[in-house]
Chains A and B, each alone.
Chain A
């Protein structure tokens, strides 16, 4: 935006500044994406006022520090909206609605049909669209952070290792085994083997939805690493569906010990460590 436009825009902002905020809020009310105002107009009006002030300061000085202040102010506003349960569309509408009072004032300021008017309207649009994009980015960053946090929680929650018996540990797997999770599974299992000193580790995949070549590869690697540590690895919970897939895909489980159910795996583990289950005499 050149100096001329900035000066003009400052003049536009200065036309009836008290009504500017009213108009801004009016334009939004009734729209389906309008931010809800359970506590009246005051909070939104206050946000509008500081945004107008920061915008004016940035336009007057055209100083990078002032622009940065405006951007960080918008980040805080978007942040507050997000915490209030607003969506990024709502915050977007809140900012784009500001175009309307500005357009109206620009039309008062400049004669109709003036080429400068079109230029000014365009400058306003570009400026506000940029602000909307910035606030949207804030939303996205926050959401990404939430996703990262949830993923970490999920990884932790979905990879428990249980000590089934002396020398026998079980890791029930649930969900999807992508390469990222497979890495976590392997590390968790190996750490548990080290910690418990287990002779047999059972990986139960009853809760795993699909087994493809990638997943099979990951199971192999985990079993191979466990074997290097001197622990027998059994993969259990291979249902008919998964067994069919394995055969159809031509996956060779080779010397990996597999069992269809967890109880079979436990029986096999017991015999490996030399234990026997017996019925008591009644």
Chain B
């Protein structure tokens, strides 16, 4: 039952020990990725085994083995595999790829896997802290860079505040019901859903605010742009994709597996958070000149769309939210993958204007970035469009036409900043780096990285492919809930 987690733990410890002698980042990353492959295999095997033998989906009230856990674990493992593969060269270049770095990455994966299976507040809390603590340290791993530490401080303080609020909410709900395990708690809450006390409502609000901090939605988003800008790129990719999936897993466990009967309390709040995030994310992104900050605001807006599906609190709405999450993760992964491949004046690309004339230098990378931007903006026929379309369709079905129209209008506002990047890539002229040497133009390839290039192409291709043929993936998402 705990084989995937066991493999990750063992690999983390092995990497920690070999990292003492071995200073080769490539080898360590390879080891980590190999262990993640094994973990994926183990996850699938256990799922098929328990499905064949009709094993219980709940182990001693602590551990879920259901479809949600399976899907969340698999997506976490796959994105972690991609993130590690894409970041290898960056960690080498920036000299942060020590054994501890990769061990902490695997510990973070372990925490996320625990969160995905948690069926008890204790397990959820410990898993959450496990991956948060590992990520705090990873953000600060460039010890000599000031903004990295600044980002770590901000992330640490907001993260600790979020877990404090979450815990306070959990304690209130525990006091009102006497339950800490999800399954009996949900039954109890179903019974008292109408006559609930103020204690429970306050607990739900505290929990929601705590999760909103972790997910990075407005008005609890202040930390997100700073962390995206300050953290090392490979860690930022980590926070933007894998950690977001884990935060979504927490959201699913808390709102769907525990608090679903109390929808009347949290649905209006989630609606408010969703609309505010879409508004703040899309409008603030326009003013950004830094690529990573723009991605941060874009992620806030995307979390808003996600919550717009979540607030419906039906099985199909949660499936659409999962579908949306996948589309966001693949889109962000593709965009950052291209950035990780490029350089500007011997450093990584920071400003959007550094991408000037990418099309003339590297038409293929420009095309992949175009796919990512179009998908994040929601342009047909890409995956991002299908995901947004599903959410709008769902809102109309549930008679929430006003929200559907607001979401669509703000999508058009949001399209502006994605299109600006495409304008910079395709229509702006190359600017020579140095007037004396007119042949050398940025942006250039950082180095030839065949694996990372193939991965970037794979992500971009899947955006296009899944956008044209989304039926399979959508069907899969519908079966989860």
A and B are interacting partners: no
Q: Residues on A close to B: CB < 8 A?
A: none
